[in-house]
Amino acid sequence: MARYILNSNAQSTGEHEVHNTNTCYWLPEPRNRIDLGEHPNCQSAVSEARRRYQGRKIDGCAHCCPDCHTR
Ligand SMILES: [Zn+2]
């Protein structure tokens, strides 16, 4: 399990990125991190973020969640 966070700041292209706090070197500033809790994989963390923030564009970080990065 790893702890995942959502960047409260959207990218210039409009999506909010999910990051793995255990492995990512590109984490947003602490004040811009929304805790998503512990997840076994990025797919689970992205699902949680989409459930909580319906209507927002949510994607995985290219660096720490390449399996969930689609943009
Ligand atoms: Zn990341």
CA 26–ligand 1 middle distance (angstroms): 5
pTM reported for the whole predicted model: 0.95
- Which of 43, 31, 57, 32 has the alpha carbon at shortest distance from 2? 43
CA 27–ligand 1 middle distance (angstroms): 6
Residue spans of the domains in the chain: they are: 2-65
pLDDT tens per residue across all 71 residues of the chain = 999 999 999 999 999 999 999 999 999 999 999 999 999 999 999 999 999 999 999 999 999 999 999 87
CA 20–ligand 1 middle distance (angstroms): 6
CA 66–ligand 1 middle distance (angstroms): 9
